[in-house]
Amino acid sequence: MEVKLYKRFPKRMNSTVNPDTYIGPAIEGHIMDLKLKANFGYENQNQSIKCDKLHPSFFITGDNDWEYLKAWDMYYFITKVDYDINGAQYIECLIDVLGTWRDEIFATQAFVTYSTKIFNKYLKDSRVAPTSDIEVNVYRDNGVDLLSDSQINYILTVMEVTQGDVSSGNIVSYYIDQIQLDLIVGKIIEDGNNFFGALGLTITDALQAIKGLRLCPFPKNVLPHTADRIIKLGKYDTGIEATPLSREPYVVNDGISYQLYDDFRDLEPYSSARIFLPLVGVVNVPMNKLVGGAKSLGYRMYANVETGKITYLLFRRGPNPGSSQSDIIGTYSGDFSFEVPLGVNVISNPIGSAITALGGGAALAAEAIATGGTAVAAEGILAGASVTSAGIAAASFITSNDIIGTFSGNFGWGACSYIKLEITHHKVNVDPETLRPLYGRECREVHLIEDLYDEGAGNYCRTDGFSIKLGVINEVREMINSAMDNGVYLE
């Protein structure tokens, strides 16, 4: 029978290439007329046995060092060579099912687990393990600092009558500094000692017109405000000029640009992220919200200077939170300031006025601070009137993510005055890109095998539950199915 033998044919066992589809340096081929030979090397040389087409044996003479052959229009690996004393060769072969049925394999659809050509880079690869070696990248927003810690300033909220008529009353919040605050307190005390009675007012009237005094971490120039004017406490003219704040929120829009691997290493447990929100705290951000698309995290900050509440809204993909393309990550709320009882300022008043003007109010003010409530002093003075039970300790977080600590009205603005994003990457035992040419990357999709092939590239492919449809004996189908499920090179 006619058999074609080959030398120097570079083929992997798990490859679909055969001499007719091979691309590369020339290989040597030789056609021989061989006779089937049985029982070579056994005592009974005349006993005849059948020749298995899957594992055939041939007797050849002459040239040697053949590695591969083609017989019956099928391809075989030469697996063993025996010699007799005269130099004749007895070769044993194994069918190359991948090379023989290459076209039929390429025409089969299958569920592909790993592939060099087509893969999903965000599917976690079980072959890649995170290590304890980490890399932390810190990114900050694109704008200026949100807060100012150069000096302590206040927002004083009062009720005032501007025209001497009850119908002209209003609630106004003024932006004042420490000097203005000390002047107001000193003037109230001084006027209380001298001529409150002549004005037809009592010190109680003036104090009760004060509805809140809060520390403010924002610089005055960023807050919506109107022209300076004299502060009034009810009908009482303090004579102190300050800046009234407009009744509208302080809003900041900005974003943070960042870098990622752009594959599954950007997801937990390989990576984690948290963002520092000034005046709120540290917030965990799910990594799946940061992957894909432009690497930019947008935020919008709302601050209500009259209530001391602040809310951050984080979003991605869209130009603003309300756009149909935007992906809302979450909202995070808290208290950006805390209330200061005006009575305590009187105790430490640098003007040095006697605190006896408040009677028992000063002592009761300290008790009000400790309990978070209010206390009524002698003669109806509302000591600590600016203290509320919610203003000191309460914070509301509208989020499904974890909040790692919150300033909740404490002196949080001194820690960091801008938004920053921290992304922690765990380094891995092997770079997934180095696996791609050798063993593919995660695919987990159904594909035609031919779609995974590139001429001359030797792409790797591994399937799950491969089942080829062939009119051959069952052992051949099982060999092909098993080879594909263990991984082959499409050549």
Question: 17-56, pLDDT tens digit by residue?
Answer: 999 999 888 788 878 776 655 444 444 444 445 667 899 8
In this prediction the pTM is: 0.70
Alpha-carbon radius of gyration of the chain: 42
- For residues 119-134, average pLDDT: 92
pLDDT at 349: 34
The residue ranking higher by pLDDT, 445 or 201, is: 445
Q: Write the CA distances from 167 to 72, 160, 162, 164, 200, integer angstroms.
A: 109, 11, 10, 9, 19
Distance CA 224, CA 244 (A): 9
pLDDT at res. 399:
32
Residue spans per domain, the chain: 1-99, 101-128+430-491
Q: For residue 141, with 0-12 CB atoms within 10 Å meaning exposed, 13-18 middle and 19 or more buried, which class applies?
A: buried
How many CB atoms within 10 Å of residue 485?
Answer: 17
376-424: per-residue pLDDT in tens? 333 333 333 333 323 322 222 223 445 556 666 676 666 777 889 999 9
164 vs 191: which has the higher pLDDT? 191
